Amino acid sequence: MKPGADAQGDGEDAEPDDRGGPETSRWWRSGRHVAPEPVPPRAVDGEHRQLLADVGHELKSPLSIVLALCTRLETAGRLDGDDAEDVARIRANAYSMLRRVQDLMLMARLESPEQQLEAAVIDVGAIVRACVDGFASVAAQRGMDLQVEVPDALPAMADEEKVVSLVSNLVANAIRHARTRVTVRCSVTAAAGRMTLEVADDGPGVAPDQRETIFERYRRGTRSSGTGLGLAIVSEIAVLHGGSVAVGDAPEGGALFTVELPLRTASATLGTVPGPPRSLALADRQRPIVEELRGELDSAPGRA
């Protein structure tokens, strides 16, 4: 697998990765924004991407109002019986729609040749722990055991918002396909200038002949709902950081998704201390995917 992670320079060009050579060094730029490597032409042209982005923004506002009104009704304590169930269903479907809108908007941005990473020194370990914690209520509802194996601290230069999206999509996918009352594992390791994120489950796994196409846009498994963009987004984010994602067999018996990224830490070694994940903002970004997954599992036949 190919490595990858993005970097933010500290005003000077950092040393290129000795395993990546001159090509790798082009990932390093001074300033906050880091331009990705040139990529082949995308399937969606600029005009369509802009239209998609505009439509997404138009849809987010009314959906946010619907969700706010549902929350107000639910917290007012005046609902019971069928009314409470109806409002809960409205809220669940609004979150599902919001998740789709966010996925389409993010994919449109990722497909843009001008897309840039906003890289900063972040604590990847803390980010991964916070992302997994965001699914704790869903896992507990299903009697699942979420295992997190990450270093106490792992400073690296990456785009925090996109890392959150990458981890959240992989964990949601694992919970969706895991068997009830067993394990979903998320782990991060670092060695030889690389960091590796693994997300594993004990579900049915991915057939060998589907392990390449599963990362294509709009591909959906037979048990999955939605737009089929989750794993495509994971792949796009990994590649945008200069990395890769692959799927294989997990020791737990199901699918093992492995993301490899080069560990960029030049700014951290110069005294820049990564701040903690912005937990409130992180929770807000995660909420649509968490609530959509909750609703999907609640309505799935055979789920106790």
The answer to whether the beta carbons of residues 199 and 257 sit under 8 Å apart is yes
Domain boundary among 55, 86, 110: 110
Q: Give the whole-angstrom CA distance, residue 267 versus residue 48.
A: 38
8-12, 176-180, 208-212, 222-226: lowest mean pLDDT where?
A: 8-12
| Residue 236 belongs to some domain of the structure | yes
Q: What CATH number does the domain containing 270 carry? A: 3.30.565.10
Q: Which amino acid is at 185?
A: R
Domain span at residue 269 reads 21-34+119-299
SS3 (DSSP) at 248: strand
**pTM score:** 0.71
Whether residue 275 is found in the same domain as residue 171:
yes
Whether residue 141 is found in the same domain as residue 285:
yes
The answer to whether the beta carbons of residues 56 and 104 sit under 8 Å apart is yes
Whether residue 186 is found in the same domain as residue 80:
no
| Residue 279 belongs to some domain of the structure | yes
The answer to whether the beta carbons of residues 182 and 218 sit under 8 Å apart is no
In DSSP terms, 146 is beta-bridged to: 184
The answer to whether the beta carbons of residues 227 and 103 sit under 8 Å apart is yes
Structure confidence at residue 53 as a pLDDT band (50, 70, 90): low
Domain boundary among 110, 133, 158: 110
31-40, 147-156, 192-201: lowest mean pLDDT where?
A: 31-40
